Amino acid sequence: MGRVIQAVGGAIQSTCSDIREEHLGSCERFEERQIGGERYNFFEGCPQAKTCTLVLRGGAEQFIAEVERSLHDAIMIVKKAIKNDYIVAGGGAIEMELSKYLREYSRTIAGKQQLIIGAFAKALEIIPRQLCDNAGFDATDILNKLRMRHGKGETWAGVDIVNEDIANNLEKFVWEPTAVKVNAIQAATEAACLILSVDETVKNQESEQPQAGPPVCHYPLLDRMYGC
């Protein structure tokens, strides 16, 4: 009811005795339509409506649930992009650029830290590799091309899903909000650090106790008769 009032521009009334013109809303078309096994009310042409209704149909609940998750992710990404002024190219472009930077930086460090930074750089390549696997591409070939392009200074080179190649995703409008990438990398880094910081093993003290010997008989008579 609240959404209908906001769309048509009216007001909720608890009685019919004092209805005025300013209390009434308007819409160009209203109809009740049968979709699947349920009936829905549709308001079209509402003067103050800023939203729309998406009706998802499918043959199985799992399919509908997957479509709903994908649609929700897409809407939230657009919402995040509108609220934030900074974006980066998607398709694994920013991950490959960070990987290249970390590899170059690791060569300036001596000791075990170089291996850690190199492993972090390699882990970032999981994103474009997974994109290639999901699209059915040759991940090894695409990643080699991306390394070469980023080595030449092409910062926004990423996976081109449409043409099965790589492209400048910033020019192709494959964008992602910077805040989303920052949060994802921070969360993954904190999770990895948390796992690495666990240097003790959880032990069950009861299972470490030595097993008891044969039972002791407390009845001397039975002990003599049966060897208890």
30, 43 contact by CB (below 8 A): yes
Tokens of 13: 């009334």
Q: By the 8 A CB rule, do 58 and 35 touch?
A: no
Question: What CATH number is attached to the domain comprising 188?
Answer: 1.10.560.10
Range of the domain at 45: 1-10+24-55
Look at residue 167 and give its three-state secondary structure: strand
Same domain? 66 vs 119 = no
Confidence class of residue 209 from pLDDT cuts 50, 70 and 90? low
Number of domains in the chain: 3
Assess if residue 46 is contained within a domain.
Answer: yes
Tokens 């608890």 found at: 14
For residue 207, being part of any structural domain is answered with: no
The residue ranges of DSSP E strands in the chain, in sequence order, are: 29-35, 38-44, 87-89, 157-160, 165-168, 175-177
If you compute the radius of gyration of the chain from its CA atoms, what whole number of angstroms results?
Answer: 32
Residue 171 belongs to some domain of the structure: yes
pLDDT tens digits along 18-35: 788 888 888 888 899 888
Q: Does position 227 have pLDDT exceeding 60, yes or no?
A: no
Burial class (CB in 10 A: 0-12, 13-18, 19+), 219: exposed
Q: 105 versus 53: which is more confidently predicted? A: 105
Residue range 40-74, pLDDT digits in tens: 888 888 888 777 778 888 778 888 899 999 999 88
DSSP states of 53-108? ------SSHHHHHHHHHHHHHHHHHHHHHHH-S-EEETTTHHHHHHHHHHHHHHTT
Residue 205 lies in a domain: no
